[in-house]
């Protein structure tokens, strides 16, 4: 069994924090287009939730990955997609490579305050011309003595307007695209870092997603994570945790919307009976509930692979693909059963419809996941057929 009684204690504690400190404010944050990241992260960090599987010497709990997975699943209980996404950036997108490959110096300067919630982190990979195609990024960090001088820009950066530092992927050499990049921790307060604008998005309304420019930003080379030229490899590893986290965070919202739809359709009358009494409705909701449970099983299996030290790339990609497509399926079907009310911004299904659409785009689009899966199957064009 993946979860024990100790896990359930952590689950209950996190649920209490979400119910008391986060969910009562979500509607206001969504309306404002921003949530107080420093305040929320400090509360989570003080209780150990931002470093469940991070090293104890940097403030983490030193637990295995199953606890991080539990948290990813549980933050899905937050009644919007933006705040869970921002938390996931802090725990499973901007810091895994830092925790695994960073020097003691860079961990103390950047990882420790991220774990405690004293600082907000963001991850800088995507650019206007390089989203899923990570190898084609243009941001450069040229060598100048003991420093890097960074020039370029990043786009769609979650937490970008409030972040204290960014885990930045940049070209640090002229070699092959997969071996000329490095991950560098860059304080957002450095001269030459500009948050150009926050982006107006379809969903994830309370997330401060930013466009960021770097104009001759000088940082010491000791801020680099691991070896120079290994950034692409580190980021690909980091993506696996991001994708599994993203899939796990989709479970509770899907379940909740199904439950909300059951409640609404049970009380809504049409042609002399409740909407729920129509077989097409209750059968469809039963199918969707089954799909959610199948996704949960796939996610747990991928996590078990990871904890066993095995390569979970294929299963994590499958989970990410399925989570995005299931979110679209659940949101569309449930919105239909809400009728005209489903098109009103005041109903929960509408927010879920907007927020869930991002899962098939961010962190690697569906088409990228399909390519990874096809590669594992040996069916990509140019690959030798496998028996």
- The residues annotated with a catalytic role in the active site are 242
Residues pairing with 303 in the sheet: none
């Amino acid at each position: 069994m993946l979860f024990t009684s100790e896990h359930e204690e952590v689950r209950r504690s996190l649920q209490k924090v979400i119910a008391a400190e986060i969910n009562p404010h979500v509607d206001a944050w969504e309306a404002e287009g921003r949530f107080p990241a420093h305040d929320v992260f400090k509360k989570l960090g003080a209780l150990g939730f931002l470093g469940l599987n991070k090293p104890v010497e940097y403030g983490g709990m030193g637990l295995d990955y199953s606890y991080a997975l539990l948290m990813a699943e549980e933050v899905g209980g937050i009644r919007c997609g933006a705040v869970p996404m921002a938390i996931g950036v802090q725990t499973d997108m901007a810091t895994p490579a830092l925790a695994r490959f960073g020097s003691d110096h860079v961990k103390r300067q950047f990882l420790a305050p991220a774990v405690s919630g004293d600082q907000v982190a963001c991850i800088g990979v995507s650019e206007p011309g390089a989203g899923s195609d990570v190898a084609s990024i243009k941001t450069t960090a040229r060598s100048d003595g003991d420093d890097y001088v960074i020039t370029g820009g990043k786009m769609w950066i979650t937490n970008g307007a409030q972040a204290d530092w960014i885990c930045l992927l940049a070209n640090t050499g002229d070699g092959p695209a997969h071996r000329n990049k490095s991950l560098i921790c860059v304080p957002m307060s450095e001269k030459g870092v500009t948050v150009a604008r926050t982006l107006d998005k379809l969903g994830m309304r309370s997330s401060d997603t930013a466009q960021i420019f770097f104009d001759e930003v000088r940082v010491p080379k000791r801020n680099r994570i691991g070896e120079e030229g290994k950034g692409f490899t580190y980021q690909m590893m980091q993506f696996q945790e991001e994708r599994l986290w993203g899939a796990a965070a989709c479970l509770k919202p899907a379940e909740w919307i199904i439950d909300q739809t059951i409640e609404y359709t049970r009380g809504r009358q049409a042609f002399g009976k409740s909407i729920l009494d129509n077989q097409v409705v209750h059968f469809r909701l039963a199918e969707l509930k089954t799909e959610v449970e199948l996704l949960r099983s796939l996610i747990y299996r991928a996590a078990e692979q990871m904890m066993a030290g095995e390569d979970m790339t294929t299963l994590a990609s499958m989970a990410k693909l399925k989570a995005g497509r299931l979110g679209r399926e659940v949101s569309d079907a449930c919105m239909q059963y809400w009728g005209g009310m489903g098109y009103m911004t005041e109903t929960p299904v509408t927010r879920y419809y907007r927020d869930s659409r991002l899962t098939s785009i961010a962190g690697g689009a569906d088409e990228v996941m399909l390519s990874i899966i096809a590669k594992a199957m040996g069916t990509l064009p140019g690959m030798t057929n496998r028996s």
